[in-house]
Chain A
């Protein structure tokens, strides 16, 4: 479980996060949603320790991130998996080397064991046979799936995903969503996902935090989000024509 208490962060005198309190549950896919510029990525980078909060605290299973020694912080990070928005694959390594990288760095597994695990994960993300390709030789969607494989290959305790579906076709997006949820449930991982994609929210948003202007404007589940009257949420959700039509149909009892 990850708890966030009174988190504030600003840059050059401008306050981006204005005091956020949130809890992300273990074994659940926890989503952070909000419009562009609402502070989602800054929130995530604070949780990862890439930014130092101006105020507030982030607590990982009872341990305060801000009070951790650098070595402990480093150990904690070995238990994290991160799927970056633009994949962030190491472009000097092959697909297989990228996926095996966390195993190579943090385990004593032999090369054949690492390869076996990498193949297993690559098959799960539906990418068998690409092991020897370089990241530049595969498509953006495939890169995303390799990045997901790298993020989960050592079965992390915490999984963070920044826009896992951006730039993906609907079919691949659904595969990625389902895979994230499956792994979260299977391994009892605390998963935090940043997303714009309302399809993902509907599919896997077990807990949802809606961010607006650096504050949490609404909290709930994927079942509750379509029933709420919170104006900020409805403006965001029903900015899509499709969801607008779904709501009209619901109201008309169709």
Chain B
């Protein structure tokens, strides 16, 4: 029952987000600020992780290639496929649930605790639209971040395998180009758009509807991280089933 109530309240929240919009010029500024905080501000850490993850994927593939009949170009192929299909969209989204999700929950939760949300409401502003809508729009730009991550991840694989003398540059490039299916990139971006929406709305829900004081803000951030991850993993399975099979 409690779970259903949460789902219902989440849906009501989503409806409320698109009602009684905030003044356009204010909204524009809020969106730009959120793009800076949520997307541009995440480039550093995600790029660092993807560079090394790409390198590890390439290394692991190379170290497990015992059969001389399997071409070395498979290293490039495996790096590309794992980065584009799963690592960049899904793994990075789980990391973003920790980085961006916790930030969203704690910032909105603190506003709730300190009556800033009540202040917005008393002024006749729709707090849902004012606080959550800019985050949803900002995270609609999340695929751009993931595109950068894909490039950096593959570049990491290239560095580790070519400069680690595991494969020649030519073989790696052959592997990268081997049986390339553009739909896989589209599939990754579709997933990213869905994950971006989940990253914006689930942490916002946990922050907006939290009750209590400072301690509860911390608890809400943890709960929000768990539920965002769970939702991303389930959505990942459903979208893969829907789009690739």
Chain A residues close to B by CB (< 8 Å): 48, 50, 70-71, 73-78, 80, 82, 84-86, 88-91, 101-102, 104-106, 160
Q: With both chains docked as a complex, state the minimum distance between the C-beta of A215 and any C-beta of chain B, in angstroms.
A: 25
Question: Would A77 and B118 count as touching, CB distance under 8 A?
Answer: no
Give the Cβ gap from A245 to chain B, nearest Cβ, in Å: 37
Q: Which residues of the partner chain B approach A105 to less than 8 Å between Cβ atoms?
A: 22-23, 26, 123, 125
Contacts of A50 in B (CB 8 A): 118, 121-122
Q: A74-B20, A104-B26, A105-B26 are in contact. Are A91 and B123 (CB under 8 A)?
A: no
Indicate whether B177 reaches chain A with its CB closer than 8 angstroms.
no
* A80 proximity list for chain B (CB < 8 A): 122-124
B residues near A, CB below 8 A? 20, 22-23, 26, 110, 114-116, 118-119, 121-126
Bound-state CA distance A75–B115 (Å) is 21
Residues of A within 8 A of B26 (CB): 104-105
Would you list the 6 A-B pairs with minimal beta carbon distance, nearest first? Answer: A77-B124, A88-B115, A88-B119, A78-B124, A74-B124, A82-B122
Residue in A closest to B117 when the chains form the complex, CB atoms: A88
A75 to B110: give the CA distance in the assembly, Å: 27
- Residue pair B20, A70 in contact (C-beta under 8 Å): yes
CB of A53 to closest CB in B, whole Å? 16
Q: Which of chain B's residues has its CB closest to A48's CB?
A: B122
Q: Which of B23, B115, B126 contacts A84 (CB 8 A)?
A: B115
Known: A71-B20, A76-B124. 14 other contacts (CB 8 A): A73-B124, A74-B126, A77-B122, A80-B122, A82-B119, A82-B123, A86-B114, A88-B119, A89-B116, A90-B116, A105-B22, A105-B23, A105-B125, A106-B124
B115–A86 touching, CB < 8 Å? yes
B residues in contact with A85, CB < 8 Å = 115
**Nearest Cβ on chain B to A62's Cβ, whole angstroms:** 19
In the bound complex, residues from chain A placing their C-beta under 8 Å from that of B23 are 104-105
A75 and B124 form a contact (CB under 8 A): yes
Which A-chain residue is minimally distant from B130 (CB atoms)?
A105
Nearest Cβ distance between residue A127 and chain B, in whole angstroms? 19
In the complex, the answer to whether A91 meets B114 with C-beta atoms within 8 Å is: yes
Min C-beta distance of A128 to chain B, whole Å: 24
Given A86-B115, A90-B116, A104-B26, does the pair A78, B20 have CB atoms closer than 8 Å? no
Structural contact, A88 and B124, CB atoms closer than 8 A: no
- A70-B20, A91-B114, A104-B26 known; A84 vs B119 contact (CB < 8 Å): yes
Cβ of B20: which chain A residues have Cβ within 8 Å of it? 70-71, 74
- Cβ–Cβ contact A88 & B123, under 8 A: no
Task: Give me 8 A-to-B residue pairs in the complex whose CB atoms sit less than 8 angstroms apart, sorted by A's number.
Answer: A50-B121, A71-B20, A77-B122, A80-B124, A84-B119, A90-B119, A105-B26, A105-B123
Q: What is the minimal beta-carbon distance from A192 to any residue of chain B, in angstroms?
A: 13
What CA separation (Å) do A74 and B126 show in the bound complex? 8
- Per a CB cutoff under 8 Å, which of B22, B116, B123 touches A77? B123
Residues of B within 8 A of A91 (CB): 110, 114, 116
Q: Chain B contacts of A73 at CB under 8 A?
A: 124
User: For residue A82, which residue of chain B has the nearest CB?
Assistant: B122
Chain A residue nearest in CB terms to B116 = A88
B132 CB to closest chain A CB (Å) equals 15
